[in-house]
């Protein structure tokens, strides 16, 4: 990091020299090792959070489509129909329903036709199927005896409502439904609400839950009333996960170990809490002074269609740097705080859309021995709004998200040192996008799966190094050892896998990744693009999970330093 210092050798002199050099070069140099280390820690944290905070989705139920029926051209006897009137309690909430009588293509309307018994049954069947398709599985439509002399068909709506929510006798006493189920007694029974509630109940791995709909048969029963029977079982709520990988760097230790302790449903609110600690392993010698430390704490809970959460993290790294007359300890630390609220805006059998808003505060410090390098002290705060969409296309799944990140002066945020040169800003404006696509398929009798993901960002203001995009390594473009990276304000990377299932929950995969960066700082890089390939095995066996891989660069700028072959592993053991 520092090759030689022509100074007195004292820490204060070294800090002064580093500060002067850093200020003079801040606008004219690509990201250095300190920035790359911070970006790498951020990537590791995102990866860990993605695993720990993932939840089981309940696939939307799709009613089986009935055979397509067309209205008879003529019936005897028949009555002319010029209007369809929906009657009954809550009919106003189903104003869209009469239009569905024209069929899925809206090209077979009963209006202006002379309908007999067969035609009337087809009209009612279409309306009933439309209710099922929208999740109103206990709501019914009926047509009583009527003369139709005025050409108006009266259809009675019998709304399906919730009478009560009851646990099954064998359910755990830790069950709470009031914040998980977006349904209350008297509400319209909607299948999507039940699916959302079930997702909230079993969002944590130690819980198995189920919800059954049963007709209410009490003495005071009314048409359309149903009970929701909730089955809920929770195993031991404490989970421990141990992890080991070689995703670090030579400067601070390649082998990284982590331990994550989770407490599921701690407050009986279907909440998730976990604490994760990380540490490097191994020393080259007794005098070797290098390493990393990390800690993440997270808490989240659902509330109907809402999900609220907070996360705090701390990262620290240190290494020995040889000076002209003595060895110095160079170190850095970062702290992150985030509060997030998400709201599911829409869900049906084939798609879901979620909006999220988060506020954040980040700080970073660097030290030589115990003296802080003031010009490298940063405090950034702001907010990010995002929209995420998932689409089920047959067996395939498509995910897309778009986010807008904005820096503000809140929470003690400080102006970035680069602002003096117009090369960075704590009031950042950044557009972030992600796409992911998964498609299982068969070839020559073998089960295969394609998985692709794309990530990109586009800056609307100058960015400090910590907000830039880094390419090269297991979290972006694979095939590179991660010791060096292309870092710039904007860019993208695209990852592709073809996986072959060779045993239960285990697969071999072949990957091809590529990426490109751009922006003012890219002019100072050796190049702008990387392409790499990887071959690996991954899966789970019992309590063990693993990912073993070999990769190599396929395209890189001349002079870009990386290993000819990048081998790596990720291992985890769950208790």
Residues 372-423 pLDDT 10s: 887 788 899 999 999 999 999 999 999 999 999 999 988 888 888 878 777 7
Chain centroid to CA 426: 26
Which residues have a Cβ under 8 Å from the Cβ of 192 and sit 6 or more positions away? 60, 135, 347, 348
Which runs of consecutive H residues, i.e. helices, occur in 319-370? Answer: none
What is the arithmetic mean of pLDDT over 143-161?
Answer: 90
pLDDT tens-place string over residues 521-535: 999 899 999 999 999
pLDDT at 418: 79
β-strand partners of 333: 316, 365
The pTM assigned to this predicted structure is 0.87
Residues written for the chain:
575
Domain that holds residue 103: 79-158
Examine the domain organization and report whether 359 and 472 are in the same domain.
yes
The last residue of one of the domains, among 114, 138, 158, is: 158
Examine the domain organization and report whether 346 and 220 are in the same domain.
no
Examine the domain organization and report whether 499 and 466 are in the same domain.
yes
> Would residue 151 count as lying in a domain?
yes
Residue 328 has a CB neighbour count (10 Å cut-off) of: 23
Name the residue with tokens 């720990």. Answer: 52
What is the arithmetic mean of pLDDT over 106-118?
Answer: 91
pLDDT at 91: 92
Rounded Cα–Cα distance for residues 399 and 387 (Å) = 11
pLDDT at 319: 85
> Would residue 277 count as lying in a domain?
no
Q: How many domains are there within the chain?
A: 3
Q: What does the block give as tokens for 102?
A: 């024209």
β-strand partners of 81: 113
Q: pLDDT confidence of 40, banded at 50, 70, 90?
A: confident
- How far is CA 472 from each of CA 155, 168, 551, rounded to the nearest angstrom? 64, 52, 12
Examine the domain organization and report whether 37 and 178 are in the same domain.
no
Q: What does the block give as tokens for 393?
A: 């296309």
If we measure between CA atoms, which residue out of 282, 378, 336 comes closest to residue 34? 378
Here the CATH number for the domain that contains residue 127 is: 3.10.20.310
More confident residue, 318 or 35: 318
> Would residue 250 count as lying in a domain?
no
Least confident of 277-291, 314-328, 434-448: 277-291
The last residue of one of the domains, among 189, 204, 234, is: 234
Examine the domain organization and report whether 193 and 303 are in the same domain.
no
DSSP assigned state of 188: B
Q: pLDDT confidence of 31, banded at 50, 70, 90?
A: low
The last residue of one of the domains, among 188, 208, 234, is: 234
> Would residue 539 count as lying in a domain?
yes
| pLDDT for 574 beyond 70 | yes
> Would residue 285 count as lying in a domain?
no
Q: What does the block give as tokens for 436?
A: 């992911």
> Would residue 3 count as lying in a domain?
no
| pLDDT for 20 beyond 50 | no
Q: pLDDT confidence of 41, banded at 50, 70, 90?
A: confident
């Amino acid at each position: 990091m520092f090759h030689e210092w022509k100074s007195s050798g004292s820490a204060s002199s070294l800090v002064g020299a580093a500060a002067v050099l850093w200020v003079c070069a801040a606008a004219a140099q690509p990201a250095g090792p300190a920035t790359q280390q911070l970006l790498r820690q951020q990537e590791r944290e995102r990866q860990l959070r993605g695993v720990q905070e993932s939840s089981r989705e309940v696939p939307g139920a799709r009613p089986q489509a009935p055979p397509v029926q067309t209205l008879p051209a003529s019936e005897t006897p028949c009555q002319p129909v010029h209007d369809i009137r929906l009657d009954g309690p809550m009919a106003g909430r189903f104003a869209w329903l009469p239009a569905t009588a024209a069929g899925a293509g809206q090209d077979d309307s009963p209006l202006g036709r002379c309908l007999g018994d067969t035609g009337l049954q087809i009209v009612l069947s279409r309306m009933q199927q439309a209710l099922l398709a929208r999740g109103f599985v206990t709501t019914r439509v009926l047509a009583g005896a009527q003369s139709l002399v005025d050409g108006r068909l009266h259809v009675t709506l019998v709304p399906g409502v919730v009478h009560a929510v009851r646990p099954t006798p064998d359910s755990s006493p830790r069950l709470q439904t009031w914040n998980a189920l977006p349904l209350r007694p008297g509400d319209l029974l909607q299948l999507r609400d039940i699916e959302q509630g079930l997702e909230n109940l079993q969002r944590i791995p130690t819980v198995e839950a189920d919800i059954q709909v049963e007709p209410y048969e009490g003495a005071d029963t009314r048409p359309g009333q149903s009970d929701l029977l909730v089955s809920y079982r929770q195993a031991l709520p404490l989970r421990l996960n141990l992890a080991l990988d070689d995703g670090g760097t030579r400067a601070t230790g390649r082998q990284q170990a982590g331990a994550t302790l989770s407490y599921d449903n701690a407050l009986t609110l279907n909440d998730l809490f976990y604490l994760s600690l990380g540490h490097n392993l191994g020393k080259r010698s007794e005098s070797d002074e290098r390493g990393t430390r990390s800690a993440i704490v997270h808490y989240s809970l659902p509330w109907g269609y809402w999900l609220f959460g907070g996360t705090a993290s701390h990262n620290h790294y240190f290494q020995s740097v040889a000076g002209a007359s003595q060895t110095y300890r160079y170190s850095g630390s970062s702290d992150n705080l985030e509060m997030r609220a998400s709201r599911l805006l829409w869900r049906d059998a084939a798609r879901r859309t979620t909006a999220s808003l988060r506020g954040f505060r980040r700080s970073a410090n660097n030290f030589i021995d115990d003296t802080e390098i003031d010009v490298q002290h940063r405090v950034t705060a702001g907010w990010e709004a995002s929209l995420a969409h998932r689409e089920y296309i047959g067996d395939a799944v498509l995910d897309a998200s778009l986010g807008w990140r904005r820096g503000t002066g809140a929470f003690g945020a400080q102006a970035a040192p680069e602002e003096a040169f117009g090369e960075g800003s704590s009031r950042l404006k950044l557009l972030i996008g992600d796409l992911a696509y998964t498609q299982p398929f068969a070839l020559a009798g073998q089960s295969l799966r394609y998985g692709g993901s794309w990530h990109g960002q586009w800056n609307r203001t100058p960015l400090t190094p910590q907000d830039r995009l880094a390419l090269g390594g297991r979290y972006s473009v694979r095939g590179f050892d991660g010791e060096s990276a292309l870092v710039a304000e904007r860019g993208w990377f695209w990852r592709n896998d073809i996986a072959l299932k060779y045993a239960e929950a285990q697969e071999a995969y072949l990957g091809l990744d590529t990426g490109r960066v751009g922006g003012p700082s890219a002019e100072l890089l050796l190049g702008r693009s990387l392409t790499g390939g990887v071959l690996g095995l991954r899966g789970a066996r019992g309590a063990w999970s693993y990912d073993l891989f070999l990769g190599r660069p396929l395209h890189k700028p001349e002079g870009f330093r990386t290993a000819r072959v990048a081998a790596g592993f990720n291992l985890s053991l769950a208790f």
